A = this chain, B = another copy of it.
């Protein structure tokens, strides 16, 4: 699959959650289900995804099984025995999400590392704080970076708390009836599910085919990440404006050019991060709307809307994660411009100090707040 031309940077997500990866994950689930029952599980895969394009069953598991059975005749009768399509697809989505989470957390850690450095290094770099667009009082760039850091660490905490997605296997209607028939007893069926979970490296859990909090929670967590990055991007975009000039994106060959204007050096990373932050919230809302519309033992449409929504949200999050890591790791800080702006902001920016009788340089608990952010971040495996 070529990367999405209408989402520049999409290639950064590599093959995470591509159709090919989803198919591989579905095969991994079917293989594990074979393996725990003692059958040969080295399934011959799919060479051409177009064989799986079939609307009739309403999900991709049905055409996949047809192809797998044809290619693996010796286990054809045992393949998928006891499972339902939702078991395979839900658990495959979980496997894809696991990779997405890992990649995202890796980036959050790298971002925290870079932000710790920025916050510490610039604890004495004074600049104008701005509220409601206007100069407010003095602050430091170090504290601004510490605030970014706090949001990144928040996102990491929220994502970690939601990350450990469990297996989802319940048979046709969440009763484990067919697995019980296959395994010989309810307990044996539960044991098979547990063994499959172990083989896939997933937590065990009773079926959650119509209780979708695990999926909404991860979606919310991914949006919490893009929120944090959106704030950073907004600040960089503003600070990159020539009238302000306090920050610049890291320069890379071929980045930031214009098709019309040879003078332009556009803050492309931030533009693309901000784009993702604008797009993400409604995707998580779609996951919630799906969960809220669940009905019966498998819902009539709200299950189906989850798949592509999770994929789109996932890939975009990873792309933005990588872009943000690059942005904060190479951010150029124009200390001189910060100083110039701050100097020009006097006496107005000094008005609160005069009113409160505070002392110059009126930076409050700047160092303590930065130290607190560093300590919090370093509690994390950066």
Which of A33-41, A100-108, A143-151, A328-336 is near enough to bind chain B? A143-151
Q: Please encode chain A, from 135 to 171, with 1 for each CB lying within 8 Å of some chain B CB and 0 for all others.
A: 1111100011001101100110010010000000001
Cα distance A260–B175 in the bound complex, in angstroms: 13
**Closest Cβ–Cβ distance, residue A43 to chain B (whole Å):** 16
Interface residues on A, range: 35 or more
Q: Answer whether residue A47 sits at the interface, using C-beta atoms and an 8 A cutoff.
A: no
Do B58 and A132 touch (CB < 8 A)?
yes
Do B189 and A364 touch (CB < 8 A)?
yes
Contact residue among B50, B178, B233 (Cβ-Cβ distance under 8 Å from A2): B50
What residues of B have a CB within 8 angstroms of the CB of A309 in the complex?
279
Q: Please encode chain A, from 196 to 231, with 1 for each CB lying within 8 Å of some chain B CB and 0 for all others.
A: 000000000011111111101100100110111011
Q: Please encode chain A, from 63 to 83, with 1 for each CB lying within 8 Å of some chain B CB and 0 for all others.
A: 001000000000000001111
Cα distance A1–B50 in the bound complex, in angstroms: 9
Do A272 and B292 touch (CB < 8 A)?
no
Pick 17 A–B contacts, CB within 8 A, sort by A.
A11-B53, A80-B259, A84-B261, A130-B241, A131-B172, A133-B267, A138-B175, A155-B213, A176-B369, A186-B366, A186-B368, A189-B364, A223-B288, A263-B351, A278-B290, A279-B286, A312-B312
Query: Told that A181-B356, A230-B292, A270-B301 touch, could you supply 12 new A-B pairs with CB distance under 8 A?
Result: A2-B49, A8-B54, A8-B55, A58-B272, A131-B297, A137-B178, A147-B211, A181-B364, A224-B288, A230-B293, A261-B352, A267-B300
